Amino acid sequence: MNHDEEEEASQKLFEEVFRAASDGILVASPDGTIRFANPRSLEMFGFPNADLVGSSIDVLIPARHRARHRGHLSEYVRNPVARPMNAGLALSARRSDGSEFPAEISLSPAQLDDGPVVVAIVRDVTEAAKLRAFGAGTVQAAENERRRIAQELHDDTAQRLAAVKLALKRVTQLDPAEITGLCDDLRQEIGAVAQDVSRIARGLMPPELERIGVVESVRIWLNSRVGSEGPAVDLMAEPVDPFLDLEQRLILYRIVQEAVSNVVRHASASTLKVRIRGVGGVVETIVEDDGVGFDPVTRTGRIDGLGLMGMRERAVMVGALVSIGSRPGEGTRVRVVMEKRPENGKDENDGVHSEGSTRR
């Protein structure tokens, strides 16, 4: 291969990499004029090539940041050094419709035949930002739950046990008839304290999951959570515990809890359907309502969308898949698919059942 052929091959390779890159690539002149934009950047920013190439880089910068960005660009042109992604900068980029997204941007100086340029590689980190927000929300939720449990134990359980202790000190000062009455009172009080402790523990790990299974646990929870003021609940479910280990049952239970709670809090639905069935080692769960619906794309980017992310994150823990379908005014459908894990040590056909559906 001669020199010209090598040049041509290199040029073709560059063009292919430019087109196929999963990150956006922009090439701009020192004055900020965009000269080249790869397909991913056009998709990311929502501009056709004819509108973006030849425009100022300012069109991709939120208006409130443009003046500062021009200063940064001038400084970069005077001192052009490579700046990697994750350089400690929290950056926002602007789409053609005016919406914004968090971005990581690396800059590199380059030289073309007609002069110097700046090469910017842009990565949309919306999902990473969501995960960070979810992680922060999870930590805060855990702290709030610990605080709630500590408050309950201190304000109620500890105080009642202290009262029992004081009452026991009086035993030696009482005659037999009074002791009998005091013991009856103490038995009732200790029983009430035990119930409270059991209630707190049930919130952490429902004992019903092991004793009566995930379907009946869901049924009990639905009765307590939805109530007479909520939507009419239609539960059709088969026993699926033979397909799932305890961790999977707990994850499925929590996802159903979150999905149903979202319906009760936000959907203004008249009907709520819950379907749980297992076939061939696969458990499919559907939570569906006829409520107001929402746009899943915009909702998951906001704080009130952390519950949706939470369902997906829980599912990932056990290799399950969660899909969420919704449109404004058309209700919402949450579908969970969970496969039997090999370490269960049972054949996939174990637990295939012929029992009819149960309905609430």
* Per-residue confidence (pLDDT) for residue 335, from 0 to 100: 95
Distance CA 91, CA 80 (A): 19
* Per-residue confidence (pLDDT) for residue 357, from 0 to 100: 36
Check whether residue 20 and residue 120 sit in a common domain.
yes
* Per-residue confidence (pLDDT) for residue 277, from 0 to 100: 95
Q: What is the DSSP string of 289-309?
A: E-S----HHHHTTSGGGHHHH
Q: Containing domain of residue 149, as a range? A: 129-204
* Per-residue confidence (pLDDT) for residue 28, from 0 to 100: 94
List the structure tokens of 42: 């056009």
Amino acid at the residue 329: G
- Of the candidates 334, 299, 357, 309, which has an alpha carbon nearest to the alpha carbon of residue 128? 309
Average pLDDT, 10 consecutive residues per value, the chain (360 residues):
75 86 94 94 92 93 90 89 68 92 91 91 84 66 71 75 82 79 84 75 68 90 81 94 91 92 91 94 95 74 58 86 91 94 51 35
Distance CA 52, CA 50 (A): 6
Determine, yes or no, domain membership for 357. Answer: no
* Per-residue confidence (pLDDT) for residue 300, from 0 to 100: 46
Q: CA-CA distances (angstroms) from residue 162 to 156, 169, 184, 275?
A: 10, 11, 17, 47
229 CA to centre of own chain = 28
* Confidence (pTM): 0.50
Please give the sequence-ordered ranges of beta strands (E in DSSP) within the chain, or none if there are none.
Answer: 24-28, 34-37, 91-94, 100-112, 115-124, 232-237, 271-279, 282-289, 321-326, 332-339, 358-359
* Per-residue confidence (pLDDT) for residue 347, from 0 to 100: 41
List the structure tokens of 211: 């004793």
Indicate the residue among 75, 99, 124 that finishes a domain: 124
* Per-residue confidence (pLDDT) for residue 191, from 0 to 100: 84
Determine, yes or no, domain membership for 257. Answer: yes
* Per-residue confidence (pLDDT) for residue 60, from 0 to 100: 95
Check whether residue 63 and residue 187 sit in a common domain.
no
* Per-residue confidence (pLDDT) for residue 190, from 0 to 100: 87
Indicate the residue among 91, 124, 157 that finishes a domain: 124
* Per-residue confidence (pLDDT) for residue 303, from 0 to 100: 37
Indicate the residue among 100, 124, 148 that finishes a domain: 124
How many other CB atoms sit within 10 Å of the CB of residue 163?
13
Check whether residue 109 and residue 82 sit in a common domain.
yes
Q: CA-CA distances (angstroms) from residue 92 to 61, 63, 79, 108?
A: 7, 11, 23, 19
* Per-residue confidence (pLDDT) for residue 305, from 0 to 100: 55
Check whether residue 108 and residue 144 sit in a common domain.
no
Q: What is the DSSP string of 59-89?
A: GGS-GGGHHHHHHHHHHHHHS---B-S-SS-
96 CA to centre of own chain = 27
The count of domains in the chain is 3
How many other CB atoms sit within 10 Å of the CB of residue 137?
15
* Per-residue confidence (pLDDT) for residue 256, from 0 to 100: 94
The DSSP bridge pattern shows strands 321-326 and 24-28 to be unpaired
Check whether residue 216 and residue 348 sit in a common domain.
yes
Check whether residue 120 and residue 141 sit in a common domain.
no
Determine, yes or no, domain membership for 358. Answer: no
Q: Which residue has the tokens 């539960």?
A: 235
* Per-residue confidence (pLDDT) for residue 168, from 0 to 100: 82
User: Percentages helix, strand, coil for the chain, rounded to the nearest 5?
Assistant: 50, 20, 25
CB-CB contact of 333 with 324 (8 Å) = yes
